């Protein structure tokens, strides 16, 4: 499962000198008195116990306190003979200045100190402070890699002829073959109404498609690429983790070709080898052909906002929630179209890195389950929709992911996962969350 994978990755990235959860000292005061049981056997008539909450200035075992207590006990204890009374307190609260203090353990039946006032001998034991929790220290993570299984002939893949590669990936991602100019740059076709460009991987096999490349592409297009511009390239050529980068008014969306797909193309020996089913029995042939690691990005429409959180019906003026308002989520796989299911019905979960540091790793910080998001939205709208998840999801106009601003760094990354395991990775910078 994706949650298990990202949880294991988070643990590897956040190793410390402590194994397991911190074991806090939850002993009560009487449990931190070494001879507590002995006081009941020492002939003591009772016990006065000062709690840790008695801070400096609140209460202290002083000369005045013991004299007042001895006078009180003298009036209420029968007879006139000597009597013992127990007392337990933190050692710093023991502040006797004038009275005589004995610490002759041979004479004491219980307690670490003894103070006699009149006929009352106070047997005093100290409460040990709670054991201080040792703060864990971070460990440097050894190098590791998160990978999909497969044995691939990388040299053959890099030497793949462009004439075979280009038509294959265009068919794989449903690109309509219609070359057209965009400010002097030639796009290879359209996905829907948006331009798409197939990165010439065989001729640029030693280059990586990084953020600098995308910036150069944006400048070459003169900012006229429209609302969305698709770039198709092998996953091994990508130099960043996110699936989209926004520059100006254009959102550059990256469609990643797994190595297993290219390997399958080489093994088939057929140009553009992505045969469509000829009968109902062959409907899964495309999926079987390209392997399990093909990621078909779901359709995601999301808006970043900053809002005041509501607490008991009142706005907290000093705090902000970073809100990802999900307006549309639909799985888009090789076997299904987005319109095959109601909106949100194919959402599984959203994984969030609360302090994304860039690069090519993701540290899981928070999980939003689709069931919980739908339940929260129906509660907000005061709607009771019985039945299966798909029906309840269809009744939602939007879903909201709320994160207290104080928990977030300058950037966060959200991975939207559909119920087939496909992902859409989106990065959000703090300045994108405009106040509402």
Q: Tell me: the pLDDT tens digits for 10-47?
A: 888 888 887 776 677 888 999 999 999 999 888 899 99
Residue 291: per-residue pLDDT: 45
Q: Quick one: average pLDDT of 297-306? A: 90
> Does residue 397 carry a pLDDT above 60?
yes
Burial 2-18 (b: 16+ CB within 10 A, else e): eeeebeebbeeeeeeee
Instruction: Using CA atoms of 77, 78, 80, 86 in order, give the dihedral in degrees to the nearest 10.
Output: -30
Q: Are 134 and 146 in contact (CB under 8 A)?
A: no
The two tokens of residue 158 are: 């890099």
pLDDT tens-digit profile of 234-275?
A: 877 787 778 888 898 899 999 887 666 666 556 655 544 444
Residue 198: per-residue pLDDT: 92
Round to whole Å and give the CA distance between 39 and 88. 10
Instruction: Give the chain's end-to-end CA distance (angstroms, integer).
Output: 36
pLDDT tens-digit profile of 108-123?
A: 678 889 999 999 999 9
Residue 315: per-residue pLDDT: 52
> Does residue 317 carry a pLDDT above 60?
no
pLDDT tens-digit profile of 188-231?
A: 999 989 999 998 877 776 777 888 889 999 999 988 899 999 99
Percent of the chain with pLDDT strictly greater than 70:
81
Instruction: Using CA atoms of 294, 298, 302, 304 in order, give the dihedral in degrees to the nearest 10.
Output: -20
Round to whole Å and give the CA distance between 345 and 98. 78
Residue 7: per-residue pLDDT: 87
pLDDT tens-digit profile of 126-136?
A: 999 988 877 88
Q: How confident is the model at residue 277 (pLDDT cuts 50, 70, 90)?
A: very low
Burial 324-354 (b: 16+ CB within 10 A, else e): bbbeebbbbbbeeeeeebebbbbbbbbbbbb
Residue, of 179 and 223, whose pLDDT is higher: 179
Q: Quick one: average pLDDT of 58-76? A: 92
Q: Are 247 and 368 in contact (CB under 8 A)?
A: no
Strand partners, 190: 176, 195
* pTM of the predicted model as reported, rounded to 2 decimal places: 0.58
Round to whole Å and give the CA distance between 405 and 391. 33
């Amino acid at each position: 499962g994706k949650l298990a994978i990202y949880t294991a990755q988070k643990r590897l990235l956040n190793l410390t000198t402590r194994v397991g959860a911190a074991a806090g000292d939850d002993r009560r005061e009487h449990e931190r008195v070494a001879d507590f049981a002995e006081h009941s056997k020492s002939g003591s008539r009772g016990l006065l116990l000062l709690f840790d909450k008695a801070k400096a200035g609140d209460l202290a075992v002083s000369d005045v306190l013991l004299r007042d207590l001895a006078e009180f006990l003298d009036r209420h204890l029968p007879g006139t003979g000597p009597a013992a009374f127990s007392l337990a307190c933190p050692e710093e609260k023991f502040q006797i200045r004038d009275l005589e203090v004995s610490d002759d353990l041979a004479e004491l039946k219980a307690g670490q100190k003894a103070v006699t006032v009149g006929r009352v001998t106070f047997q005093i034991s100290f409460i040990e402070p709670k054991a201080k929790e040792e703060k864990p220290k971070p460990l440097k993570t050894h190098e590791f890699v998160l990978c999909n299984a497969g044995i691939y002939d990388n040299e053959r893949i890099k030497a793949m002829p462009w004439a075979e590669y280009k038509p294959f990936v265009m068919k794989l991602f449903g690109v309509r073959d219609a070359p057209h100019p965009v400010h002097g740059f030639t796009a290879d076709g359209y996905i829907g109404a948006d331009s798409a460009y197939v990165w010439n991987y065989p001729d640029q096999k030693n280059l990586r498609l990084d953020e600098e490349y995308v910036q150069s592409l944006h400048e070459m297009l003169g900012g006229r690429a429209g609302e969305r511009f698709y770039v198709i390239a092998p996953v091994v050529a990508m130099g960043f983790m996110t699936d989209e980068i926004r520059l100006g008014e254009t959102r550059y969306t990256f469609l990643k070709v797994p190595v297993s797909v290219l390997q399958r193309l080489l093994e088939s020996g057929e140009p553009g080898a992505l045969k469509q089913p000829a009968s109902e029995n062959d409907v899964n042939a495309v999926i079987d052909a390209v392997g399990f690691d093909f990621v078909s990005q779901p359709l995601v429409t999301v808006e970043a906002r900053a809002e005041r959180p509501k607490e008991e019906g009142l706005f907290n003026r000093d705090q902000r929630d970073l809100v990802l308002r999900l307006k549309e989520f639909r799985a888009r796989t090789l076997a299904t179209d987005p319109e095959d299911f109601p909106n949100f019905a194919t959402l599984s979960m959203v994984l969030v890195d609360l302090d994304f540091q860039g690069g090519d790793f993701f540290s899981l910080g928070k999980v939003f389950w689709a069931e919980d998001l739908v339940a929260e939205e129906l509660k907000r709208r005061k709607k009771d929709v019985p039945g299966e998840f798909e029906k309840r999801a269809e009744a939602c106009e939007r879903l909201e992911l709320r994160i207290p601003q104080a928990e977030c760094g300058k950037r966060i990354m959200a991975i939207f996962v559909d119920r087939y395991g496909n992902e859409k990775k989106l990065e959000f910078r703090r300045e994108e969350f405009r106040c509402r």
